[in-house]
Amino acid sequence: MKSVSPRGCARGFAVGVLLAACVVDVLMAGSDGTSVLPTASPIWPTLAVLAVGLAGVLWPAGRRPEWLTPQVRTAAPALVSALYTVASLLTLKANTFGPGEVLILLCLLFVAVRHCPPRWAWGCGALDVGVLLLLPVRLLGPADVNVLGFMVAGLVLVGVFAGLAVYLRTMDYRRTLAVSETRRAERVAIAADLHDFVAHHVTGILVQTQMARMMAQSRPQELDPVLAGIERAATEALASMRRTVGVLRDSGDEATDRRPVGDLAAIAELTDGFASPIQQVVLRRDPDVSDDLPHEVQAAAFRVVQEALTNIRRHAADAARIEVRLRDHAGRLEVSVADDGRGGTQLPAAAHGGGFGLVGLKERVTALGGELHAGPRGGVGWEVRALLPAGKR
């Protein structure tokens, strides 16, 4: 048996109240002996006003034609009601109005304030309010002192419905802003990920290209592994860009590997791909380090290793040995990357980066409750060391 949501129940109750009020209007018109149109039955003008109003309020959203905009929905029924009131004044005949027409105009005011474009909301809302306040004139005449009392009551109802609509519209606006800000922040994070990956691979391409140029004269027979490394780095960079562009375009693919985010298993691939004929990269992972760490912790560990290796290429290309360690340190994951370089590099100045990689990395690590330290080792070389929380999921 299909369950009904509380919102659906509330909507059904509101529609029922509105239809019941319209039935009261029809009964009141049927008991009235007057008519605006001399050749018509007294009930037909009321039926026409109610039919147009109910169409504007209750027309299903999924079946509305394109021309039935919120402006049309709120203005057309109000104009029909206004014509009925004007006709009553011109013919000097009293004609009834009931709770159904009042509720319809209030609902139209709610729709105008909440859903109409900003420039139209004021006009359509003012039209609905004006027509609502003129209803007593249809029954009592403009000179009747009781008209003022009806108008005061009408203003109270207008304040309630308009205030609720403004509140909900404000909440919708804030929700839209929050969603937009979340999307913007996510896209910025994706762009940062793309920068990290592509910078890593492109720096490797640059270093290996320089190596290939030197080997072309002295050891041409050993060029093939270097060229293979360049090809692999270029392929991975293009794949990273393709995945990221797919995410930024909000593609509907179900692939889970669209965003270039690494984990502990990917660190091994990263170190294997970094090694070159003149550099040895050693990965030491303690058995105590589990694969069941939170995903964000594994991604941060991957970023630490990636940024450290990229910086080695940029600033310590002369390093002969690089050691990457993953170990459990007092219940936290310790990630360290150490090299024996002396700072010698032949990269162009434009390829050295802007110096913000470690800053962004520190923000990522501290946001998880971890710590990041980077500095020279005791003898020679440089070390990047991060401590990350290792709470199980």
According to the model, what pLDDT value does residue 163 have? 92
Interval 209-224 mean pLDDT: 69
Q: Are 162 and 109 in contact (CB under 8 A)?
A: yes
Task: State pLDDT tens for residues 22-39.
Answer: 898 888 876 544 444 444
pLDDT at 102: 92
Percent of the chain with pLDDT over 70: 70
Looking at every residue in the chain, the average pLDDT score rounds to: 78
**Residue 168, pLDDT score:** 92
Q: How far apart are CA 115 and CA 111, in angstroms?
A: 5
Residue 77 has pLDDT above 90, yes or no: yes
Pairing assessment for the beta strands 332-339 and 382-389 based on DSSP bridges: antiparallel
254 has pLDDT over 60: no
- Average pLDDT of 97-107? 90
Over residues 367-374, mean pLDDT: 87
- Given a contact cutoff of 8 angstroms between Cβ atoms, the answer to whether 366 and 372 are in contact is yes
pLDDT of residue 243: 61
The one-letter amino acid code at 136 reads P
- pTM of the complete model: 0.52
- Coil, helix or strand for 33? coil
More confident site: 97 or 185: 97
Residue range 308-326, pLDDT digits in tens: 888 887 777 788 889 999 9
C-beta atoms surrounding 271 within 10 Å:
18
Judge whether residue 201 has pLDDT over 60.
Answer: yes
pLDDT in tens, 171-199: 988 988 887 787 677 667 666 666 666 66
SS3 343: coil
Fold of 264-393: Heat Shock Protein 90 (3.30.565)
Q: Are 377 and 323 in contact (CB under 8 A)?
A: no
Instruction: State residue 166's pLDDT score.
Output: 93
- Across 91-113, average pLDDT: 86
Q: Give span(s): CATH 3.30.565.10, the chain.
A: 264-393
Q: Would you say residue 391 has pLDDT above 70?
A: no
pLDDT tier for residue 245 given thresholds of 50, 70 and 90: low
270: number of CA atoms within 13 Å, CB side? 28
Token readout for 285 is 């992972």
- What average pLDDT does the segment 339-345 reach? 74
Please give the average per-residue pLDDT across 256-260, as a whole number: 44
**Does residue 327 register a pLDDT over 60?**
yes
State yes or no: pLDDT of 84 exceeds 70. yes
- Residue 365 pLDDT exceeds 80: yes
R_g over Cα of the chain: 36
What H or E segment, with its residue span, contains residue 329?
strand 321-329
Lowest-pLDDT range of 2-11, 117-126, 245-254: 245-254
